[in-house]
A and B are shown apart, each in its own frame.
Chain A
Amino acid sequence: MSIIEIDQVNKSFGEVSVIKDLSLRVEEHAVYGFLGKNGAGKTTTMKMLLGFLKPDSGEIKICGEKVIYGNARTNRYIGYLPDVPEFYGYMTPKEYLGLCGEITGLKKEVLQRRTVEMLQLVGLEGNNRRIRGFSRGMKQRLGIAQALLNEPKLLICDEPTSALDPVGRKEILDILSIAKGKTTVVFSTHILSDVERICDSVGILDQGRLALQGKVADIKNSYRKDVIEVDLSSGYPIDRIMKLLKEKPYISEITSNDLRLHIQLSGQEKAASQVLRFLSEEEVPLLRYEIMEPSIENVFLEVVQ
């Protein structure tokens, strides 16, 4: 079942067209990374999902229900973490979660249980200080706690890690990894390593268009570039082997950097193993031989020119 269905949505602010004919699906229990440069339209898309912005045309459905601008009943399925969540500084985390739970009409016992669970999940249990003294990272964690309080079917996070230091980022990613067992997670980011760590699907947004989407594994497969990297031990005449390799029909390009060879295969069958066989026949002293995996970063840079 699709949790999010976006159909041919357009949105512009004044003259500037921010989202152009965007259609995408997010399946249940996915961890969907929403990638794009700053200004690509990620936040705009998320705000439309929440009914905070009105699409100029097109339709958005959450759990099969249409999102209505200004009064989005569909928000009951959603937990939302804004990029920089702001809280009432005069409340304690417990009071704040209490307010959130009461607004959504959680029963008292359930609310108490969930509050304790959530504060434990984000590591703020036993913290009875007022929120005004909290650090960025603590606020972000409290933001996740309030978003997950109602056990939403969909958790939307807008750049949850961008403003944090490495430790804070790791904490947030760990919490999201735990959350993904129970809910569908959609999060926008421009930090590609975060996507590789926890996402199973990605959508890459470029200038308001969906440039690419799919499962991370599929994308990596289709963008596999058949590149081999070889490290030689020092003292070996690297120019000689380069010359020899260049003549082989199964190699299209070869470059070197110090003792490292960067070999682009021509795409012929068994090209990789032919390279290996040739190297061993020539008794080239190998330190490392690796078939390169395309990283999301390479895919991203290629797609987003």
Chain B
Amino acid sequence: MNAVTLDQLQEYLPFLIPIILVEMALMITALVHVLRHKNYRFGNRILWVVLVVCLQIVGPIVYFTIGRGEE
């Protein structure tokens, strides 16, 4: 990326910040949930930590909708 795009990124920063904040909030909520619970419908803790952290948006969705176990 060259300097021009960086400038433009700066210009759009007010728009990017809320996006990043919401994504982070989703990720952290999911991550905390993964770490505080032992049982998942399938998969193990490492898998879910990796999925939730690496796959933005999709990771937390999949975790909360089908990965999250009962107690």
Query: Does chain A bind chain B?
Result: yes
Residues of A at the B interface (CB closer than 8 Å) are 89, 132-133
Interface majority SS (helix, strand, loop, mixed), chain A: helix
Complex interface: chain B residues within 8 A of A132 (CB): 70-71
Q: Determine the distance from Cα of A132 to Cα of B71 in the docked complex, in whole angstroms.
A: 6
Complex interface: chain A residues within 8 A of B70 (CB): 89, 132
Complex interface: chain B residues within 8 A of A89 (CB): 70-71
CB of A132 to closest CB in B, whole Å: 5
Interface residues on B, range: under 10
CB of B30 to closest CB in A, whole Å: 17
5 A–B contacts from the bound complex (CB under 8 Å): A89-B70, A89-B71, A132-B70, A132-B71, A133-B71
**Residue of A whose beta carbon sits closest to that of B70:** A89
CB of A130 to closest CB in B, whole Å: 9
CB of B41 to closest CB in A, whole Å: 14
**Residue of A whose beta carbon sits closest to that of B37:** A132
CB of B33 to closest CB in A, whole Å: 13
CB of B29 to closest CB in A, whole Å: 15
Complex interface: chain B residues within 8 A of A133 (CB): 71
CB of A206 to closest CB in B, whole Å: 37
Complex interface: chain A residues within 8 A of B71 (CB): 89, 132-133
**Residue of B whose beta carbon sits closest to that of A132:** B71
For chain B, residues 28 to 71, give those with C-beta under 8 angstroms from any C-beta of chain A. 70-71
CB of B26 to closest CB in A, whole Å: 19
User: What are the 3 A-B residue pairs with the smallest beta carbon separation, nearest first?
Assistant: A132-B71, A89-B71, A89-B70
CB of A88 to closest CB in B, whole Å: 11
Q: Determine the distance from Cα of A61 to Cα of B20 in the docked complex, in whole angstroms.
A: 63
CB of B40 to closest CB in A, whole Å: 14
CB of B37 to closest CB in A, whole Å: 10
CB of A260 to closest CB in B, whole Å: 51
Q: Determine the distance from Cα of A264 to Cα of B43 in the docked complex, in whole angstroms.
A: 64
CB of B65 to closest CB in A, whole Å: 15
Q: Determine the distance from Cα of A183 to Cα of B44 in the docked complex, in whole angstroms.
A: 48
Q: Determine the distance from Cα of A133 to Cα of B70 in the docked complex, in whole angstroms.
A: 10
Q: Determine the distance from Cα of A133 to Cα of B71 in the docked complex, in whole angstroms.
A: 7
**Residue of A whose beta carbon sits closest to that of B71:** A132
Q: Determine the distance from Cα of A132 to Cα of B39 in the docked complex, in whole angstroms.
A: 12
**Residue of B whose beta carbon sits closest to that of A134:** B71
Q: Determine the distance from Cα of A89 to Cα of B70 in the docked complex, in whole angstroms.
A: 8
Q: Determine the distance from Cα of A237 to Cα of B70 in the docked complex, in whole angstroms.
A: 66
**Residue of B whose beta carbon sits closest to that of A86:** B70
